[in-house]
Amino acid sequence: MSATSPTLSVFTRDAALAAKAAGAGLRDAPGETRAAILGDLAAALERADVREAVFAANARDMERAKADAAQGTLAPALINRLGIDAKKMVGLSDGLRQLAAMIDLVGGVTLRRELDDGLILERVTCPLGLIGVVFEARPDALIQIAGIALRTGNAVLLKGGREAEDSNRALTDVIHDVLRKHGIDVRVAVLLEDRAAVAAVLEQDGIVDLIVARGSTEFVHHVQKSTRIPVMAHAAGICHLYLHRAADPAMAAALAVDSKMTYPAACNALETLLWDEGAETALDASVKALAAAGVELRGCAETRARHPSLVPATDADWDTEYGAAILAIRRVRGIDQALAHIATHGSRHTESIVTSDDAAAQRFLSAVDAAGVYHNASTRFSDGYRYGLGAEVGISTDKLHARGPVGADGLLTYRWLLHGSGQRTADYGAGGKRFKHRDLPT
């Protein structure tokens, strides 16, 4: 691996322009080249020397982080998210290979229309251009997001947290080695290293086309408030599992535990369980399984009437993303009240109904306004890898542009190309020529 990868400790507008210009080379390269870069990156992360270098760098970061946590200058929760182990490396390589195998999305003609003789309109996909990625901890996010960006012909400015400095540098070195091998200007993936760089990236409106923010809710809010560039944020999730009266008790219990406990800190983890009159057996089975899994359960008065050992829930519980092994449970009177609770307290992330009643399921799937709406499945399926997107930029709870797990699609836009032969608009309209508007095959 090269020790001379360009990293920037002072970030300037010129550096952003240079990255964007380098991006044009990647965008104009054949799709096979972008796919090969991803495949080679996957292979590189499996090489013994690369793994050793990455693990060594990560170990230095972990050691520093533990010392900082002991001194109280770093949140202990970050340590878990900082670590890179063999399993994570395998996951990264798998994701990159999925991305490499995808159909190339750059330059796709999504509409072709004959407006008139010799006047052909095309809508053609293209990269957004330059993506600013600002993230805390999780150095694996660097590979995931850079992988999606490079696959779609985008340049990236990468600004990770100080706590992951060594890991981020080691991973960027791997990316640069692969880019060099393919003759692509390494400035398409720039790692920024100084403290001021986050602010510097956020100020580059007009050059940086999108900010991808990954980190704590506070960090994401800070980013959103500090820039005029559009921000795609991996947002908070207050997800519900609704036990309809026709819920199968064993399935309810299994889905409640999976949704809550496979990764309680994840945004797609369950925060509130709703149960209906008639779903008492499903509730009982779920309470038993959740308690056995070590979940602190907080219940409304009607839930506690049945399960007095539960902690009393307050109104604040319905609006809380615990990010921990805590779950709120509330009794509702029928599907309308369940839908109303979700509309009021949900964060439009992922909502799931458990029922064997198809009409109720259909009603729920139609009515809930959220990125993911599920029937008889764990909320934790809301994930780019599980959806088959290869990897994800994040999970969006916004409604515009991209919703739910955001894969390669989310880093693309399109341009309208018009191929004419001298046509003037003045010749069309009242009394003049008429448009044909005939769609042609793409």
Stretch that binds a second copy, among 176-184, 190-198, 278-286, 384-392 (CB under 8 A): 384-392
Going through 107-263 in order, the beta strands assigned E by DSSP cover 109-116, 119-127, 130-135, 155-159, 189-192, 210-214, 231-233, 239-243
Residue whose CB is less far from a second copy, 127 or 160: 127
Residue whose CB is less far from a second copy, 259 or 303: 259
The rounded distance, in Å, linking the Cα atoms of 226 and 231 is 10
Residue type, 329: I
Among 49, 72, 87, 218, binds a second copy (CB under 8 A): 87
Q: How many residues bind a second copy (CB under 8 A)?
A: 65
Among 262, 281, 320, 337, binds a second copy (CB under 8 A): 262
Q: Which helix (H) or strand (E) holds 70?
A: helix 48-70
401 binds a second copy (CB under 8 A): yes
Question: Minimal distance in Å, beta carbon 406 to a second copy?
Answer: 11
The residues in 15-44 that bind a second copy, with binding defined as CB under 8 A, are: 24, 28
DSSP structural state of residue 313: P
Residue whose CB is less far from a second copy, 180 or 399: 399
Count of alpha carbons within 13 Å of 422, Cβ hemisphere only? 0
Residue whose CB is less far from a second copy, 69 or 254: 254
Stretch that binds a second copy, among 59-67, 234-242, 304-312, 408-416 (CB under 8 A): 408-416
Question: Minimal distance in Å, beta carbon 161 to a second copy?
Answer: 26
Among 382, 392, 393, 397, binds a second copy (CB under 8 A): 382
346 binds a second copy (CB under 8 A): no
Residue whose CB is less far from a second copy, 180 or 288: 288
The rounded distance, in Å, linking the Cα atoms of 330 and 244 is 12
403 binds a second copy (CB under 8 A): yes
Among 278, 419, 432, 442, binds a second copy (CB under 8 A): 419
Residue type, 220: V
The residues in 99-118 that bind a second copy, with binding defined as CB under 8 A, are: 113, 115
Count the neighbouring beta carbons within 10 Å of the beta carbon of residue 7.
17
> Which phi and psi angles does 16 have, rounded to 5°?
-65, -40
Residue whose CB is less far from a second copy, 61 or 209: 209
The residues in 362-381 that bind a second copy, with binding defined as CB under 8 A, are: 365-378, 380-381
The residues in 158-217 that bind a second copy, with binding defined as CB under 8 A, are: 209-210
* Residue partners of 382: CB distance under 8 A and separation at least 6: 239, 268, 349, 350, 371, 372, 395, 404, 405
> Which phi and psi angles does 35 have, rounded to 5°?
-65, -40
Among 286, 405, 406, 407, binds a second copy (CB under 8 A): 405
The closest alpha carbon to 150, from 390, 315, 437, belongs to 390
Question: Minimal distance in Å, beta carbon 177 to a second copy?
Answer: 28
Strand-strand pairing, 350-354 and 394-396: unpaired
Stretch that binds a second copy, among 172-180, 278-286, 310-318, 427-435 (CB under 8 A): 427-435
Residue whose CB is less far from a second copy, 154 or 168: 154
Q: What is the SS3 assignment for 19-38?
A: HHHHHHHHHHCCHHHHHHHH
Per the CB < 8 A criterion, the answer to whether 259 and 378 are in contact is yes
Stretch that binds a second copy, among 214-222, 255-263, 294-302, 316-324 (CB under 8 A): 255-263
How far, CA to CA in Å, does 82 sit from each of 93, 128, 137, 167, 372? Answer: 18, 29, 5, 9, 28
Binding mask 216-235 for a second copy (x = CB under 8 A): --------------x-----
Among 254, 291, 325, 326, binds a second copy (CB under 8 A): 254
69 binds a second copy (CB under 8 A): no
Residue whose CB is less far from a second copy, 333 or 399: 399
The SS3 call for residue 350 is: strand
Look up residue 325 and give its two tokens: 């092994």
Whole-number CA gyration radius for the chain = 25
293 binds a second copy (CB under 8 A): no
* Residue partners of 177: CB distance under 8 A and separation at least 6: 1, 2, 44
Would you tell me which residues interact with a second copy (CB under 8 A)? 24, 28, 87, 90, 113, 115, 119, 121, 128-129, 209-210, 230, 248, 251, 254-255, 257-258, 262, 365-378, 380-382, 386-388, 398-401, 403-405, 413-426, 428, 430, 435, 437
